[in-house]
Amino acid sequence: MIIETKSPEETFRVGMRLGQKAAAGQVFTLTGDLGVGKTVFTQGLARGLGIVEPVSSPTFTIVQVYDEGRLPFYHFDVYRIGDVEEMDEVGFDDYIMGDGVSLIEWADLIEEILPEKRTEVLIEKDLEQGFDYRKITIHELDG
Ligand code: ADP
Ligand code: MG
């Protein structure tokens, strides 16, 4: 599925719709360049789960946990990861195999440890379409 957006608000709403439908145990992987809108999308997804506290990228921790929504939400940002073994240290497998909803920004950096069953989200710019244009490609992998 491909969705095109023309503002951060629209990308937020795409995330929100997915958050409203998200199932326990669902894993979302986000890929796309710096500043493309992964965190904006994540904020929408969190809102769709019923989380109202502000969600920002976990800068000093790899994972941030939110418990106030319809399901627990595990927000990973692995941009600064040095080695995939750091993911073991934070208990990555327990999160992604748990009953919450997991979302991983910069998932391509830990490709080898991603679960086979996941919802891949790729966000891309196309400057010919304008500065605020984003193409969001959502792909369900069945594992
Ligand atoms: P990332 O997490 O991918 O590094 P952010 O979500 O932090 O990126 O930042 C995206 C930036 O792009 C924000 O400043 C946002 O306002 C801007 N932006 C402009 N147009 C869009 C759009 N269509 N969708 C998402 N963000 C957009
Ligand atoms: Mg981000």
Q: What confidence category does residue 61 fall into, taking pLDDT thresholds of 50, 70 and 90? A: confident
Nearest residue to 78 (alpha-carbon basis) of 98, 104, 40:
104
């969705």: which residue's tokens?
3
Contact in structure between 29 and 114 (CB atoms under 8 Å): yes
135: part of which helix (H) or strand (E)? strand 134-142
Q: Whose CA is nearest to atom 16 of ligand 1?
A: 8
Ligand 1 pocket, 11 CB below 6 A? yes
Helices within 58-116 (DSSP H only):
85-89, 92-96
Range scoring the smallest mean pLDDT among 47-51, 71-75, 85-89: 85-89
Ligand 1 pocket, 31 CB below 6 A? no
Q: What confidence category does residue 56 fall into, taking pLDDT thresholds of 50, 70 and 90? A: confident
First to last CA, the chain: 18
Rounded Cα distance between 87 and 111, Å, is 12
The pLDDT of residue 82 is: 85
Ligand nearest to the CA of 59: 2
Pocket test for ligand 1, best of 40, 104, 108 (most atoms within 8 A of CB): 40
Ligand 1 pocket, 140 CB below 6 A? no
Nearest residue to 100 (alpha-carbon basis) of 16, 14, 12, 19:
19
Range scoring the smallest mean pLDDT among 7-11, 44-48, 56-60, 85-89: 56-60
Tokens of residue 141, six digits: 């992998």
Contact in structure between 11 and 44 (CB atoms under 8 Å): yes
The pLDDT of residue 80 is: 87
Average pLDDT score, the chain: 95
Ligand 1 atom having least distance to the Cα of 133:
23
* pLDDT tens digits for range 82-126: 889 999 999 999 999 999 999 999 999 999 999 999 999 999 999
Ligand 1 pocket, 37 CB below 6 A? yes
